[in-house]
Structure 1
Amino acid sequence: MVKKQNIPAKEKIVSVVLLAGLILFMAIVIGPGFSEPSSPNQNVAEQMLPAGWSAVGGWEIYPKGRLYEKINGREPLFDQYGVVRLRYASVSKGTNDFEVYFYDMQTPDGALGIYLANTPSEFDELELGTLADISGGQVRVLKGRTYLEIFSLAEQTPKDFLIDLSSALVETIPTEKEARRTAVELLPKQGRVRGTLILNRENTYGLAKLTDIFSASYQQDNDEFDYMIRTISPSEGRKMIAAVGEEIFEFDGEIIQSETNSLVAEFMGKTLILNQTGDFLIGLYGAVPPDQGRRRLDQWIETMKDQLHGSGK
């Protein structure tokens, strides 16, 4: 029979303190800032890649708040546009290696915003997703709520490799259930000046009340102007139109026509037209006569009337 030893109370206290200290030390060393990113099932990951491609080490998932672990320094920009998570993998085929970044955003407009914010100075457009371009060894694609970046790790990369991989990855991005197109998809492509599509977060054309609106420049016949559009409820759109009208008046602009759902004004030497139609605020700004601007805006609205339904509240 083994005789049970009694450990003095003082030694018990010392042991407990040492154990607690060890636990605290381990928590600091391997705390949340150093946690490994979660990886989905490898079979699921491989299904995202075309035949012959493989994800080296599997896919890594970085939720909002942890993107800095992969893209340190860029996270604030993605937060600004409503990032939900980043899915990352290093993929390869033969001697060709690439890095793939899927950024899942809260809204399609947020995905477009981050796409536009990262536009390179020189690029060639691609027919992929909603918008896509290629610049050197980089491909960027916008589709729905997802912004996709693909980077080649080699100095010289065959363009067809990049496009084949990009096309296959784009097919894995879910299509929005809603049949309606996003605001940016409603902007006309004909006559658009290349590289002018932007998201105006604030102070659009110097107007503090005109915010979060997409715009692009156009050259049609002898006219030069911008079209603009944003998704907004009818009630909020009418409030914005009224606020913009008041701001233009305060800046000594000329209000030509002001109604509940529309505004026509002369501001900074150009014509500004705003119109709330369904769930969209649509507008034109440029050096065109007001009646000509109105006709151009009406022509654009006519081409997308089936998409401009709304509650009207």
Structure 2
Amino acid sequence: MNVLVTGAAGFIGAHCVLRLLRDGHDVCGLDNFNDYYDPQLKHDRVAWVKALAGEFPLARIDLTDAASIDELFQSHRPDVVIHLAAQAGVRYSLQNPHAYVDSNLTGFLNILESCRRHPVKHLIYASSSSVYGANARTPYSVQDGVDHPLSLYAATKKANELMAHSYSHLFGIPCTGLRFFTVYGPWGRPDMSPIQFAKAIAEEQVLQLFNHGEHERDFTYIDDIIESIARLLERAPYPTVHRDREQPDPASSLAPWRIYNIGGQHPVALRSYVALLEKHLGRAARIELLPLQPGDVLNTCADASDLARATGFQPCVELEDGLGRFVDWFLDYYPQQPAHVLGAAELQRRRL
């Protein structure tokens, strides 16, 4: 199929393009290579994909440029759009809220409009586990309400789900939203905890743990995310004809629209996560415990049973294995100065 991947130079986007090319699809990418973090990492991801799977067209377009996006749809004629481009980050949304409106709302509207003008078989777009916000019950289920976001980032992702539903209802665009849970792995974003924590530990800098390290996160390895997307590619949603009007399922609709969680389903305490990084890096962390930050969710845990029923797959990479693969990449991409690597006994002594 012809597949358009937005955010193709991003963390998930680059892995997605690689998988699609290897599966024999005709892929066109879109990315604006902005400087939210070092653009060199984005260029290096693209070079990595091309080295493993060959060349592919990659348009340098900003999501707010509606005319250029429409021209790209006109020229590539995608069967499927995988929309992964967005302004990410919970804490950054406190500093620069307009970036989230521009990219996540106006930008998504431009994608929806192009899907309307140039009909596609399936629009798959990234949502986020952050939409669950103040929900206290875990595991988070797609049948739960998500009406109390704790950050503007989360609010824009919830808005994307609503916008997609309206276009699905009005214009028959099959839309699937994916709520990702703490994705990690090689080529990850430097503003996320794996690289931030690994750098702090490797460089013997202070590692700040908010909420006094009491967070729990449902970590999801990148390969599990990509396998889920690949299986959903040709599974465009259908209207739920026999919808219970008394107790409607928030994850399905009379329109061709669906929502799925993609998460590891095994939440891990932040301190245990740090201990695994220490183990793989062979160095002890210098930890500073700090209060809860505005916008942070305390604990996350996915119920991915709907995904399993739809695709026959659910995330399966254990955190220790996934972090080992991440650290191998991290040490290769961010070469460290020679330093004494600690054994297990010394690591334990330093923690105490």
TM-score when normalising by structure 1: 0.24
| Structure with the higher strand share, 1 or 2 | 1
| Structure with the higher helix share, 1 or 2 | 2
**Higher alpha-carbon Rg:** 1
Q: Relative contact order: is structure 1 or structure 2 higher (C-alpha 8 Å, sep ≥ 6)?
A: 2
